[in-house]
Structure 1
């Protein structure tokens, strides 16, 4: 006979899980005791939200299962934002969410929370362990669903059930089939006909191109088509790709934006890009995605086809005519090179005391390892990662693009670093994001995780400040009174250093990257830096001008001058 705890832990280990993130206590004490005597490593975080972020970072990078476990009531509730983030990133995480003993449920007992109602909206599997004898069966199904659907699975367990003895006589297990999916022959014929008749074709690749780099590049070559990538697929499509013309969307570049807007046929491959305003109004749009529910949910499409990107391209290529007219492609490639020059040029300033955030990211790109795993906080650090860091087929990038949360960068990086000893992992943190979840800096010390933290310190919620100004508003309640991050790091036991002048940055960054353990580099960056969209509209110009007028009338003329000088008068 085994306890339910032992059965659960054994099931998770056999499913490939290596680590469990959480905080011990009351309802999970028997579970954590079973973890202690297993090969599953317990990572003791200081806040459960960080545990969910960290598990999601690990699983996003590896594609393997990671675990979180929380105590009844608040303990399991604290995971929810990190669970939403992990689920929307497609990270196979399993949360063991616990509740009070069965005898007290439904009677208003302290910490009684219906965890299932909360987590069923951010999971691919969410069930209550109703009977101790279900333990291996339910947890096998949960792990199998999380791994095969790339999402979060949640199992709710009453605290008293963990110590119950069960026979565990039926060998339920986790299956991970490898399947091939493509459109029917009739659909492929119709698709090929549309492509062969089109004049200017743009390929728009998304996260579904994760393992399809070679196939997508070959398709671009065959069709003489520019390849645009979403923000999520930068890592998979940007490198070794002569047909790449950048990104679309508000964080994109002019060439990527124009390639989408001016084509006759837009071929969306594994692309679920959310913002309808960045799709073309007149082009024929064809979408191929492994998930049927994604078809046509972002913009109306002329054809919606279900298929894996690799398998679909392989079946489609023999049906397509090779194209020799490269005018459309060449024009956009030339525009893209200008975009790169402009992006690299921004941030270089004669004033050595002014540090542009682009310059920080450019210096990081130059000094970081060729296989570094990067994360970035939602907001402006995410922009600098997407625009300034090079993908090369070895580097990894993770940002909060679907959930859009703050404070994701270093918690996600924590899990990535823990699961990849010896690999350089760097978190690009905003000062707002850093101060939201600073407590788990202690986890880096306690768990001896050699994570590198880069703080873009502009003493403000910078992205929000920019949003307010572009809408013609005076920025309100965005200022931050920050500590000296480097001194704080030193007190905790993390190597810390502060940089306030551009001329000091490269040497300081080299020292920071050379530290054997965790290290924090606090860089004071220009507060008035704007994130320029690929196309500046008349409305944005008008609204920003309105902000300028309001700022002058409120005695802030110096800010207007600096804003113009730093972003427009170069």
Structure 2
């Protein structure tokens, strides 16, 4: 039996497992892995300019495809820089594998440069970590790491000492990947408690999260039968179309006042695929029925009356025929009146042509130029809550840092999305704070010729933090940003740049930018005004 090196073995096995990309930055402890990557063509290596961007790309790839995202870095600081992206994947249940180099085996445990106990370093952001201490354990450990990441939708990590990469491996590979994604089917949910609970409600509401994806028709049918208002978390924006007459918008700082006000009067809540429960905007003692795929995501600390575990669409399809149309007309009327107030308020905000430029005014214009089926990579910041509040979704998909909520996510995520879905329009929406953290990834855009459109809100501040400090009666400190001319920065990378400083430029320049072939950055000199509900959250937490 002919041998292959440990590096070749891992790459061939990952390819058998269906891996398409490895995102990373080379380093001294992974040079042999880089050499092995260069000699094969089944996995494409994507070189980023920072390890955190590599981990963000792996996380975004996993979030958008449901498949395993893989990233790599060298020992010591290489792994340390991966941690932010790994934490994002871990927090959002995205299957990711990190492979890192380690110092040579004879230096492990010493004061050698770049040595750190990697298993201890990563333990808070992974569910499985191991070091390949012998070539013979390569496949066994890799298989376990991949299976853990996929089956538990989590992060796994393997470290490989520098002197092991080139050692020979003689064992057989695992030939197929299909079984890795086979999940045990949960028991058939019992609906005997759910149906009477829902039918007895006089003022029902429905909260949907990311786990409700693909359930639009079922949610609309059940909402109509029950006469329930529908509200959503950011991850569920667009799952139910914006024209649905019982939709009251988002919940939280980027939501509508009407969704929160109506929730306070409800007598029961159906939660579909939503891990997030914004307690500041929700009643404390409302009875809840939750539909959730993972038992670990149940809101046990809330007033949970019953839970249906399994695929949301399958459960809703079984539940809907069992429900009678018993809508409370006065409650439905109240929901529709609240919706009308919300829409009227949105129109005022979206047509506010003030200087500096309002994010709502930009999102109004963005709706007219963006593709209805685009992928939108959202960074974290003030622009995010404005997006949730004012942007009207069509069939777009959103990528964002849901639970970890890190800055710097959007550009790497957009790059991963464009690599994965080259025929779809990809738009990154970022603030100046988050963009500056990973602006070196403009080089990745150019290197791989990625047609990514970037909308950059420049208000020269960490606006959300600035506003919250002021609302809390604190002197704003440390929140002002010294920025370059981002338009010129983009152009220095070879990316088309636009700079918008007046409201009357927004429509024409956005239209022109989106007509461009290739990557474009549009810098918008925007206001730092908060959403109306941001003050509610800030005051309630002080």
TM category (shorter chain) comes to over 0.9
Instruction: Work out the CA distance in 1 between the residues paired with 2:215 and 2:538.
Output: 39
How far is 1:238 from its partner? 4.2
Any unmatched runs of 5+ in structure 2?
A: none
Q: 1:310 to 1:433 in 2, by over 3 A?
A: same
Query: Aligned Cα RMSD in Å?
Result: 2.3
Q: In 1, are the aligned partners of 2:16 and 2:175 still within 8 Å (CA)?
A: no
Instruction: Work out the CA distance in 2 between the residues paired with 1:147 and 1:31.
Output: 23
Aligned match of 1:501: 502
Aligned match of 1:510: 511
Instruction: Work out the CA distance in 1 between the residues paired with 2:296 and 2:275.
Output: 10
* 2:54 aligns with one of 51, 55, 71: 51
Q: Does residue 235 of structure 2 align to residue 232 of structure 1?
A: yes
Once the two structures are overlaid, the 10-residue window that deviates more, 2-11 or 219-228, is 219-228
Instruction: Work out the CA distance in 1 between the residues paired with 2:156 and 2:264.
Output: 39
SS in 2 for 1:157: strand
Alpha-carbon displacement from aligned partner over 1:217-262 (angstroms, at most 9, x marks no partner)? 2222232222221221113234564432222222211232134322
Q: Does residue 407 of structure 2 align to residue 411 of structure 1?
A: no
* 1:189 aligns with one of 185, 189, 192: 192
Q: How do 1:254-293 residues align onto structure 2 when only pairs under 5 Å count?
A: 254-293=257-296
Q: 1:3 to 1:333 in 2, by over 3 A?
A: farther
How far is 1:72 from its partner? 1.0
Once the two structures are overlaid, the 10-residue window that deviates more, 4-13 or 189-198, is 189-198
How far is 1:402 from its partner? 0.8
Aligned match of 2:381: 379
Q: In 2, are the aligned partners of 1:272 and 1:298 still within 8 Å (CA)?
A: no
Once the two structures are overlaid, the 10-residue window that deviates more, 107-116 or 288-297, is 288-297
How far is 1:59 from its partner? 2.1
Alpha-carbon displacement from aligned partner over 1:69-127 (angstroms, at most 9, x marks no partner)? 11111112111101111222232221112211111101221111122223232224323
How far is 1:304 from its partner? 3.5
Instruction: Work out the CA distance in 2 between the residues paired with 1:534 and 1:77.
Output: 33
Aligned match of 1:2: 4
Once the two structures are overlaid, the 10-residue window that deviates more, 198-207 or 42-51, is 198-207
Alpha-carbon displacement from aligned partner over 1:454-486 (angstroms, at most 9, x marks no partner)? 111111111111111111222222111211111
Q: In 1, are the aligned partners of 2:360 and 2:387 still within 8 Å (CA)?
A: no
SS in 1 for 2:36: helix
Aligned match of 2:37: 35
Q: In 1, are the aligned partners of 2:487 and 2:499 still within 8 Å (CA)?
A: yes
Q: Does residue 308 of structure 2 align to residue 299 of structure 1?
A: no
Q: In 2, are the aligned partners of 1:460 and 1:478 still within 8 Å (CA)?
A: yes
Q: 1:337 to 1:90 in 2, by over 3 A?
A: farther
Alpha-carbon displacement from aligned partner over 1:479-508 (angstroms, at most 9, x marks no partner)? 112111111111121111211111112211
Instruction: Work out the CA distance in 1 between the residues paired with 2:5 and 2:247.
Output: 55
SS in 1 for 2:93: coil
Q: In 1, are the aligned partners of 2:267 and 2:287 still within 8 Å (CA)?
A: yes
Q: In 2, are the aligned partners of 1:203 and 1:228 still within 8 Å (CA)?
A: yes
* 2:123 aligns with one of 120, 131, 136: 120
Alpha-carbon displacement from aligned partner over 1:404-450 (angstroms, at most 9, x marks no partner)? 21121112111111222132111111111111222221121122111
How far is 1:197 from its partner? 2.1
Q: Does residue 94 of structure 2 align to residue 91 of structure 1?
A: yes
Q: Does residue 425 of structure 2 align to residue 424 of structure 1?
A: yes
Aligned match of 2:466: 465
Once the two structures are overlaid, the 10-residue window that deviates more, 270-279 or 422-431, is 270-279
Aligned match of 2:372: 370
Instruction: Work out the CA distance in 2 between the residues paired with 1:221 and 1:349.
Output: 34
Calculate the TM-score normalised by the size of structure 2: 0.93
Instruction: Work out the CA distance in 1 between the residues paired with 2:445 and 2:537.
Output: 44
Q: In 2, are the aligned partners of 1:512 and 1:519 still within 8 Å (CA)?
A: yes
Q: In 1, are the aligned partners of 2:95 and 2:155 still within 8 Å (CA)?
A: yes
Q: 1:84 to 1:512 in 2, by over 3 A?
A: same
* 1:357 aligns with one of 340, 359, 375: 359
Instruction: Work out the CA distance in 1 between the residues paired with 2:301 and 2:410.
Output: 27
Aligned match of 1:531: 531
Alpha-carbon displacement from aligned partner over 1:130-157 (angstroms, at most 9, x marks no partner)? 4322222322332233233333222222
How far is 1:350 from its partner? 5.5
Once the two structures are overlaid, the 10-residue window that deviates more, 129-138 or 453-462, is 129-138
Q: Does residue 220 of structure 2 align to residue 213 of structure 1?
A: no
Instruction: Work out the CA distance in 2 between the residues paired with 1:216 and 1:181.
Output: 21
Q: 1:120 to 1:305 in 2, by over 3 A?
A: farther
Q: 1:317 to 1:535 in 2, by over 3 A?
A: farther
Calculate the TM-score normalised by the size of structure 1: 0.89
SS in 2 for 1:236: coil
Q: In 2, are the aligned partners of 1:296 and 1:304 still within 8 Å (CA)?
A: no
Q: 1:354 to 1:73 in 2, by over 3 A?
A: closer
How far is 1:178 from its partner? 4.8
Q: In 2, are the aligned partners of 1:182 and 1:311 still within 8 Å (CA)?
A: no
SS in 1 for 2:198: helix
SS in 1 for 2:368: helix
Instruction: Work out the CA distance in 1 between the residues paired with 2:173 and 2:527.
Output: 62
Instruction: Work out the CA distance in 2 between the residues paired with 1:179 and 1:212.
Output: 21
Q: How do 1:429-440 residues align onto structure 2 when only pairs under 5 Å count?
A: 429-440=430-441
Aligned match of 1:400: 401
Alpha-carbon displacement from aligned partner over 1:352-382 (angstroms, at most 9, x marks no partner)? x542121112111121111111122211121
Q: In 2, are the aligned partners of 1:209 and 1:237 still within 8 Å (CA)?
A: no
Once the two structures are overlaid, the 10-residue window that deviates more, 141-150 or 194-203, is 141-150
How far is 1:327 from its partner? 2.7
Instruction: Work out the CA distance in 2 between the residues paired with 1:518 and 1:291.
Output: 39
